[in-house]
Amino acid sequence: MKQKSFENLLKRLQGLTPDQVDALMRSIQDMTAQNAALTGIDQTARMACCPHCQATEKQKWGRTRSGTQRYRCNQCGKTFNGRTGSSIGHIRRLDLFYRVLQDMFASTIPGSVRQLAERLGINKDTVWRWRQIILRSLSQRIEPLSGIVEVDETFVRESRKGSREWVLHHRDPANYPKPPRLRWYEYKLTGALMKRGLSKWRLPVLTAMDRAGNRYAERLPDRRDRTIYQCLSPIIRRDAALCSDGLGAYARFAQASGVSHFVLGTKPGSRKIGQSFHIQNVNALHSRLKDFLRPFKGPAKKYLDGYVDWYFVRNSTKPERALDNLLKLPKVQGDSGTSVVQMESEVSPTSPSYTGTETGLRISARNASTCSSLVAQEVTNRVTELWTL
């Protein structure tokens, strides 16, 4: 648009009604998000080679319907763009997808799926699918924990949202057995007794952090010695001082690993040892994590890992970086068959700080099957030593 035409456009805006101003602002937000998304995608395409034959020689070949730059490979003759082969290659409304990224990583309090769908004017199922694509791309940055390390676990109610197990049972009791428990809101409606304290319906989330600000969290299948050892052994240095509650698994881990261990109690006078050894920081982290999960009304058990990773990476991840990681990094086949894209911040075997278990290679109950055989054998040997003590 020429400058004179632009000045005339600005003059015509002065007569807009409040509703028209709101519509204009929404349109500007969509255009801003669209331009930011296209810029990131085109930058990726300029640096990328052909995803079909890996050749580097290419030429511009028009633009796609979504506005991204299309390229044609000089070797194989196939066309591609910055999204070809990525987990967001099929998304058409890039402007709205980028606004979902902004809500997840740039807003103070992320909105729920229904709130975001109403704000963007699209179906809630579309927002849900987009959010799951983004959540599967997240992974916490793994830094070795040293110095005074606080470790504790918090518990989240098991949720089965989306399973429709009660609906299927009422519809066909012969083929669908009765679920093992009521839905959580039904305990209050029916007056049924709810088991107090810990049970198999409380999912443990283990968190660890040091005084330098490095932190890590992972949902555990249980609190057995073997599980605790496999989770903590790769991320805690041997010169650390471990602070925990009285759970016996922590004491046996400290004994097998050779780290100092300070046990804190729950009664007044036993919650601190001196002025330095306590677990108040990790307990405050539990409170913030639950505040973050509260607007989502209990994420389903199979998606809880993604929400935990989301909380721990959102403060250090910008929407532009999240989009860049979704575009650049290759897909990895996950355990459940879904595509998983590892975040760029994760420690890799080629990074300077990678030296094996001492620098925090992630070996846990969730992804122990993907670690190298040597490190897996080391963990197995140490667990065997733990059980023979």
Neighbours of 363 (CB within 10 A): 22
| H helices, E strands: number in the chain | 13, 10
* Phi, psi torsion values for 242, nearest 5 degrees: -90, 130
Range of the domain at 243: 148-158+200-299+353-388
In this prediction, residues 67-83 reach a mean pLDDT of: 90
Give the model confidence (pLDDT) of 90-133 as tens digits.
Answer: 888 888 999 999 999 998 889 999 999 999 999 999 999 999 99
Residue 372 and residue 245 in one domain: yes
pTM value?
0.75
d(CA 73, CA 363): 40
Give the model confidence (pLDDT) of 204-261 as tens digits.
Answer: 999 999 999 899 999 999 999 999 999 999 999 999 999 999 999 999 999 999 999 9
Give the model confidence (pLDDT) of 12-21 as tens digits.
Answer: 787 788 888 8
What's the pLDDT at 329? 57
Residue 168 pLDDT > 90, yes or no?
Answer: yes
**Within-domain flag for 236:** yes
What's the pLDDT at 330? 55
**Within-domain flag for 268:** yes
What's the pLDDT at 274? 85
Residue 48 and residue 154 in one domain: no
Number of structural domains (the chain) is: 2
Q: Report the sign of the C-alpha dihedral through residues 176, 177, 181, 187, in that order.
A: positive
- CATH number, position 284: 3.30.420
Q: Which residues lie below 8 Å from residue 64, measured CB to CB, with a gap of 6+? A: 70, 81
Residue 215 and residue 358 in one domain: yes
How confident is residue 5, by pLDDT bands cut at 50, 70 and 90?
A: confident
Classified as helix, coil or strand, 65 is: coil
Q: For the residues of 235-263, what is the DSSP string, one character each?
A: TB-TT-EEEE-S-HHHHHHHHHHT-EEEE
Work out the percent of the chain whose per-residue pLDDT is above 70. 84
The residue ranking higher by pLDDT, 39 or 357, is 39
Give the model confidence (pLDDT) of 326-383 as tens digits.
Answer: 887 555 444 333 333 333 333 333 333 333 333 333 333 344 333 334 444 454 555 4
